[in-house]
Amino acid sequence: KNQVEQSPQSLIILEGKNCTLQCNYTVSPFSNLRWYKQDTGRGPVSLTIMTFSENTKSNGRYTATLDADTKQSSLHITASQLSDSASYICVVSAGTGTASKLTFGTGTRLQVTL
């Protein structure tokens, strides 16, 4: 069964600090992996999307990495801001990448404090 596990479940950090969120997946065959940011009560917003051949991708202060061999991905947030407080969801696409084969993780809830 395809699964996406994320850790930690929640995280509190001080403003200005860096943090790294983890995603492990057992999705086969792998097509692509995405990270989304979801503010409370809002829809997810895409941060990055990576295919099998990509090891890293950046979007501003967000940098995602992918190790397709170990089936792990990470999302690194640099110089965190209060507005980074949100849930971060790892989504893995299987097979041909069709919508029905998107497996969502439960997310990491990040809180950035003063």
Partner 1 sequence: EPEVTQTPSHQVTQMGQEVILRCVPISNHLYFYWYRQILGQKVEFLVSFYNNEISEKSEIFDDQFSVERPDGSNFTLKIRSTKLEDSAMYFCATNWGGSTDTQYFGPGTRLTVL
Structure tokens at 111: 């809180």
- Least distance to partner 1, CB of residue 64, Å: 14
Given the complex with partner 1, which of 41 and 114 has the nearer CB atom? 41
Given the complex with partner 1, which of 98 and 113 has the nearer CB atom? 98
Give how far the C-alpha of residue 44 lies from the chain's centroid of Cα atoms, to the nearest Å: 11
What letter does residue 99 receive in the DSSP assignment?
G
Contact residues for partner 1 (CB under 8 A)?
31-32, 34, 41-46, 49, 89, 91, 93, 97-100, 102, 104-107
Given the complex with partner 1, which of 17 and 42 has the nearer CB atom? 42
**4: buried, middle or exposed (CB in 10 Å: 19+, 13-18, 0-12)?**
buried
